Amino acid sequence: MRTQVAIIGAGPAGLLLGQLLHRHGIDNVILERQTRDHVLSRIRAGVIEQVTVDLLDEAGVGSRMHRNGLVHEGVQICVDGVRHRLSFKELTGKTVTVYGQTEITKDLMDGRAATGAPTIYSAHDVALHDICSERPRVTYRAGGQAHELACDFIAGCDGFHGISRKGVPAGAITSHERVYPFGWLGILTDTPPVSEELIYVRHPLGFALCSMRSPTRSRYYLQCGLAEDIEAWPDERFWEELKPRLDDEARARLVTGPSIEKSIAPLRSFVAEPMRFGKLFLAGDAAHIVPPTGAKGLNLAASDVQYLSRALIDYYSEKSAAGLDHYSDRALARVWKAERFSWWMTMLLHRISDNSFDYKIQLAELDYLFRSKAAATAFAENYVGLPY
């Protein structure tokens, strides 16, 4: 089989890239190791930058997001029981949309199914070949048979643990990483949110986040140690740990209930560069990871797809390779800014240590953020998403 672009991974990055290319007449095949149901079972974040919203509209899959997504004009930060609001709308004129990544994935799957473009699920033993030649190819097994996919380019959108980055020649990639000494314990529950906007909580007991997926479904997080056992966290313990970190109003509005999903996620910052190796282009988590504090993971994947889709469209329509040649530099410039912002928010809001100096520095930084319009504007610009 032959195609123009082979896409590895049917997460949001791979599906969005496939949809954008298809709408410009560029043939592509998506290979996914897992089943469709498994991909849809992944619970991920859901704060979407305006530029990501625009890209989903361009891909023709934004209608349900506009019906069901929650537009937020600001965010709230609670420091030791006192809440402060930062208005994105007033500071930048922009907003963000809360819409679960699972829902985005479903919309993209449905959009691709409507086009008839091929997605091959349960593709095992995927391997990349000749990525630095003029004839790259991908081999895999599906349905008990071996297959080979010849192509012009390969897009590695298969996540941090995928095979795409591992297919890069030894010594051709440089990795930068910071692993944080804590994680997030998160639960999803069918209860109304405590606030119409996200509340980030900085508290001596540790970080917390009150988020939502809809007016009737809430997502809560607590800072936890990396050695925590999820079995040691029954729902009752989670609620009892969350309550003292909230302000009085949020505590009064808190509705507890059984969790429908519970998980512990370690936090890390990671960047692999460059993001191009011959005919292979990395995108999304295959190239970078951010801690979820800044809500940048999905949005960074979308920005990679924006740069890569434009470059491929130019290549096939204008016979210009300039966009492909500059893809890595353009994508990494935005990646590192998002990495900085996510690192900054993580260090600002979590209990980093028992050192009183660290605690006082956090309070000083937060006080500056709340009192300075320049600091608040910089925060808002980064949170709603820097321009492409």
- Are the C-beta atoms of 200 and 78 separated by less than 8 Å? yes
Count Cβ neighbours within 10 Å for each residue of 30-55 and write b for 16 or more, e otherwise.
bbbbbebeebeeebebbbbbbbbbeb
Catalytic residue among 72, 203, 288, 350: 72
> Tokens at residue 55, please?
């890209």
- Output the CA–CA distances (angstroms, integers) from residue 257 to 65, 154, 196, 231, 320, in the order listed: 26, 45, 19, 17, 56
Cis peptide before 118 (omega within 30 of 0): no
> Tokens at residue 273, please?
């560069």
- Residue 296 is among the residues annotated as catalytic for this protein: yes
Catalytic residue among 12, 136, 291, 292: 292
For β-strands 5-8 and 153-156, DSSP reports them as: parallel
- In the 8-state DSSP scheme, what is residue 295? S
Cβ-based neighbour number of residue 81 at 10 Å: 14
Name the 3-class secondary structure at 171.
coil
Helix (H) or strand (E) holding 246: none
In this structure, the dihedral spanned by the alpha carbons of residues 246, 251, 257 and 263, taken in order and rounded to 10 degrees, is 0
Alpha-carbon span 276 to 128, nearest angstrom: 14
How far from the centroid of its chain's Cα atoms is residue 118's Cα? 24
Of 324, 292, 301, 273, residue with least CA distance to 185:
292
The arrangement of strands across the sheet holding 82-87 comes to: 82-87, 74-79, 199-202, 208-214, 217-224, 174-189, 259-273, 288-289
Catalytic residue among 140, 200, 220, 315: 200
- Residue 72 is among the residues annotated as catalytic for this protein: yes
Cβ-based neighbour number of residue 116 at 10 Å: 7
Catalytic residue among 262, 279, 288, 296: 296
Using N-to-C axis directions, what is the helix angle for 322-349 and 356-371, rounded to 10°? 110
Residue the block writes with tokens 């740069």? 307
- Residue 383 is among the residues annotated as catalytic for this protein: yes
Alpha-carbon span 172 to 134, nearest angstrom: 18
Catalytic residues: 72, 200, 292, 296, 383
